Amino acid sequence: MTVTVEATCFTPAQLPPEGLPEIVVAGRSNVGKSSLINALLGTKLAHVGGTPGKTRSINFYLVEGGDEHPSFRLVDLPGYGYAARSKTEKRDWLRLTSAYLEKRESLRLVCHLVDFRHGLLANDRELQEWFVQQGKNLLVVFTKADKLPKGQWRGKVQQYVREGLFSVDVPIVTSAEKRAGLDELRSFIEKFLTAD
């Protein structure tokens, strides 16, 4: 598997034309998107930490599978929900994200990353409504699970599901730090890449 940065887009005009199937990663700023992408792809290409809410671009990673799995694009959406964000930034986020999501036929699955300690917050729910209205496949992926004792994992998932969420399957519990849940997520992605 080789991974390269294919495009970094700050404006709709910079978005690459459709091509390979796309798997999207979305979530609040600081939820652990970059860390999970790096852990999943075995790279350090995604920039971790730094100023929350700094990533305002949509980043396209080209993942070439070789004989192991089909090639695809992993699409890293800019984080949302960072409190200090200006109105202009929020407007730009929406403009760029909608431009990407509209009529994107190659989009197969949106992995919605949610901090396992907090569950879905109000803006996570807004995002879910918006994606579901547009007919997108959503999979909830919990992050930073290492911050909770393993004995609580199953109960937490059940609680969050009971409280209500959209997910095409049982949410996946991951930790980039402890490298947990990565194989499960990988096989899920592959399932959506090969399905029609």
Ligand X SMILES: Nc1nc2c(ncn2[C@@H]2O[C@H](COP(=O)(O)OP(=O)(O)O)[C@@H](O)[C@H]2O)c(=O)[nH]1
Binding residue (CB under 6 A) for ligand X from 111, 120, 175, 182: 175
Q: Does 179 participate in binding ligand X (rule CB under 6 A)?
A: no
- Whether the CB-CB separation of 33 and 49 falls below 8 Å is answered with no
Q: How far apart are CA 63 and CA 126, in angstroms?
A: 30
Q: Are strands 2-9 and 58-64 parallel, antiparallel or unpaired?
A: antiparallel
Q: Does 59 participate in binding Mg ion (rule CB under 5 A)?
A: no
138 binds, among Mg ion, ligand X, none (CB under 5 to 8 A by kind): none
- Span 133-172, contacts to Mg ion by CB under 5 A: none
Closest CA to 23 of 75, 71, 78, 61: 75
Kindly give, in sequence order, each residue whose CB lies less than 8 Å from that of residue 157, ignoring residues fewer than 6 positions away. Answer: 142, 170, 171, 173
Binding residue (CB under 6 A) for ligand X from 147, 150, 154, 191: 147
Q: Does 97 participate in binding ligand X (rule CB under 6 A)?
A: no
Binding residue (CB under 6 A) for ligand X from 1, 10, 11, 48: 48
**Interface with ligand X by CB under 6 A: which range of 6-14, 30-38, 59-67, 87-95?**
30-38
Indicate the residue among 57 and 71 with the shorter CB distance to ligand X.
Answer: 57
Residues that bind ligand X (CB under 6 A): 27, 29-35, 48-49, 79, 143-144, 146-147, 175-177
